[in-house]
Structure 1
Amino acid sequence: MKIIIAGGTGFLGENLENYFSKKGNEVYILTRNPKRQNQIYWDAKTLGEWKNTLENAAVLINLTGKSVDCRYNEKNKQEIYSSRIDSTKVLQQAVDQSINKPKLWMNASSATIYVHSEKHLNTEENGIIGDDFSMNICKSWEAEFFKSENGNVRKVALRTSIVLGKNGGAFPKLKMITKLGLGGKQGRGNQYVSWIHIGDFCKVVEWIIQNEDISGAVNVRAPNPLSNEELMKKIRRQLKIPFGLNSPVWQLELASLFLGTETELLLKSRNVYPERLIKSGFQFSYLNLNEALYNLFEY
């Protein structure tokens, strides 16, 4: 297959590129800083020569977007919004102009689209979508993505949760703070953490490619969310560290100022279930966190 990954130089993009390249697929990356032969320049907002790459592609995957791991000041909020909307909009223009269009277009989204929930399990069907900055970003992102329909282009929004992998994402940071003795619960610790192993994330993308009846929004996460307190306990156990200092909310608020991030990333309860994947017959390699951590801590 010919696969195009827009914004594919980050943690998720690099893993997808390796996964599909090893299976003999032709993978091209759209990036602002091309460094390899299969990387093509684009600025993620205007049409250019890159649009020709979409011709005869089997799959287009858009992962473009400024990281939300920052302070939500007005400048950053605007960049978070525009980076997602502009890239989706210009890709739509490129798809519209293609003669032989990609058969499938997957666009990144986030499980953050659902409200903070400690009791309600959010599926694609019954998930409660709320109204704040993060949720509105996700809503606008998906609205832009699904606004235009090309009859022959199947569209899937990947509502991804925390992806755990050795070479990026949240896991190396969680491992580091645990080694420093700060691996206790964050806040009350009862907020749910929805997660997926990077290996399963790549398998989900492949599964969606193979199953042509899957379209619309898909929750990309393992089926067993657990509390923040339980998550940190399991990481401590794997590292054989008997204790971890708890971090009350006031302490997290202070730390987030110095680290240039927001406490929402740690304190929001993402209680999400991958109903569509389960019903379609997808088999997770890492169903529970112990299995995932055992793999991630292997050296």
Structure 2
Amino acid sequence: MEQPKMIIAGGNGFLGKHLARYFTQLGYRVIILSRKRGYRIGMLHWDGHNLGSWTAALEGAAVVLNLAGRSVNCRYNIVNQYAIIRSRVDSTKVLGEAIARCQNPPVVWLNASTATIYADTPDEQPANTEADGVIGRGFSERVAQQWEAEFWVAATPRTRRVALRTAIVLGADGGALPVMARLARRGLATPHGNGQQWMSWLHVDDFCRAVELLVARPDLEGAFNLCAPQPIRNREFNAQLCRHYQPRWQLPQPKWLLEIGAFLLRTETELILKSRKVAPQRLLENGFTFRYPSCDLAFTDLLPQLT
């Protein structure tokens, strides 16, 4: 039996490396499309904007997964806004063009999106589901909408498509959690602002398992929220970090101080102050079982690996 092939565009980051290991263990031959030059087995160069020799790898692929996109951890000035949007839209567009040209196109194309597509969620509002979530109108939400719009407009009728509206993914070897843990050790495991904002999150193992489900089920397409079923308030999230690390002191983080810090670090407070309350309705409806449905279970697994 021929080994199935998986192409991961933008696969050199935290999520890409986990997916590559996970699907390699499942028996896939994983090929990474990377902007980095230099030959390495299992890696092809692309620029994320133009067709090239890399397109031949898509022929007969079982899975194409696009994770490409410039980091949003920056100031949202005009230059950075343009770069953030173009990196996502252009990579999605060129993949669509490449798939459309295939004689034997990929079976399924999964494209990264973000749970940030939903509007800031006040206390009284239920969690956003794929069916009735409230789409926001700010810059971050517009990025997600343009990203998904480019995905759905692609002329790939023979390839099933799934948009991954992914929340914050927690892992011990990358992403946001190691940074949060370092801050917690220094007494910064205190509420961000008033701490009432919701945080949607997902353990990296459940992220890989959810992608596996979406690849394996030919009846699943459209947008899926990839997040744990139990969002948590920022106050409690930080309290759990504090209970684990037990710093000698705790420094308050009011909104005005966060604004100053964000300016000095060249980032935006939206990344920690926006209330993200999202539910994985479609995953649950299709039988997905979370190994880490609650944040305390995720922390019990991950935090000992960071100490």
TM-score range, shorter chain: over 0.9
C-alpha change, 1:224 and 1:279, in structure 2 (3 Å) is: same
CA contact (8 A) 2:170 2:201 kept: yes
CA contact (8 A) 1:160 1:220 kept: yes
Q: 2:250 aligns with which of 238, 244, 248?
A: 244
User: Are 1:265 and 2:271 matched, yes or no?
Assistant: yes
**What is the total number of aligned residue pairs between the two structures?**
299
Distance in 2 (CA, whole Å) between partners of 1:172 and 1:296 is: 10
Deviation of residue 151 (structure 1)? 2.5
- TM-score, normalised to structure 2, is 0.95
User: Are 1:255 and 2:261 matched, yes or no?
Assistant: yes
User: Are 1:165 and 2:171 matched, yes or no?
Assistant: yes
Distance in 1 (CA, whole Å) between partners of 2:224 and 2:82 is: 26
Q: 1:11 aligns with which of 11, 14, 18?
A: 14
Where do 5+ consecutive residues of structure 2 fail to align? none
CA contact (8 A) 2:185 2:246 kept: no
User: Are 1:79 and 2:79 matched, yes or no?
Assistant: no
Counterpart for residue 25 of structure 2: 22
User: What's the % identity of the aligned pairs?
Assistant: 45
Deviation of residue 297 (structure 1)? 1.7
CA contact (8 A) 2:9 2:68 kept: yes
* SS at structure 2 position matched to 1:168: coil
- TM-score, normalised to structure 1, is 0.98
Deviation of residue 25 (structure 1)? 1.2
Where do 5+ consecutive residues of structure 1 fail to align? none
Counterpart of 1:59, as a letter, is V
* CA offsets 1:267-294 (integer angstroms, 9 cap, x no match): 0000000000000000111010111001
CA contact (8 A) 1:183 1:232 kept: yes
CA contact (8 A) 1:194 1:271 kept: yes
* CA offsets 1:151-203 (integer angstroms, 9 cap, x no match): 22110000000000011111011101100011100011000000000000000
Distance in 2 (CA, whole Å) between partners of 1:243 and 1:230 is: 17
Deviates more, 1:263-272 or 1:18-27: 18-27
CA contact (8 A) 1:113 1:138 kept: yes
Distance in 2 (CA, whole Å) between partners of 1:43 and 1:148 is: 19
User: Are 1:2 and 2:5 matched, yes or no?
Assistant: yes
CA contact (8 A) 2:128 2:279 kept: yes
Distance in 2 (CA, whole Å) between partners of 1:149 and 1:223 is: 34
User: Are 1:136 and 2:139 matched, yes or no?
Assistant: no
Q: 1:100 aligns with which of 100, 104, 107?
A: 104
C-alpha change, 1:66 and 1:277, in structure 2 (3 Å) is: same
Distance in 1 (CA, whole Å) between partners of 2:76 and 2:24 is: 36
Deviation of residue 41 (structure 1)? 0.4
User: Are 1:126 and 2:132 matched, yes or no?
Assistant: yes
Counterpart for residue 235 of structure 1: 241
Q: 2:54 aligns with which of 50, 53, 68?
A: 50
Distance in 2 (CA, whole Å) between partners of 1:20 and 1:117 is: 35
C-alpha change, 1:200 and 1:228, in structure 2 (3 Å) is: same
CA contact (8 A) 2:97 2:154 kept: no
* CA offsets 1:91-113 (integer angstroms, 9 cap, x no match): 01100101110110000000000
CA contact (8 A) 1:44 1:87 kept: yes
Distance in 2 (CA, whole Å) between partners of 1:63 and 1:150 is: 18
CA contact (8 A) 2:192 2:254 kept: yes
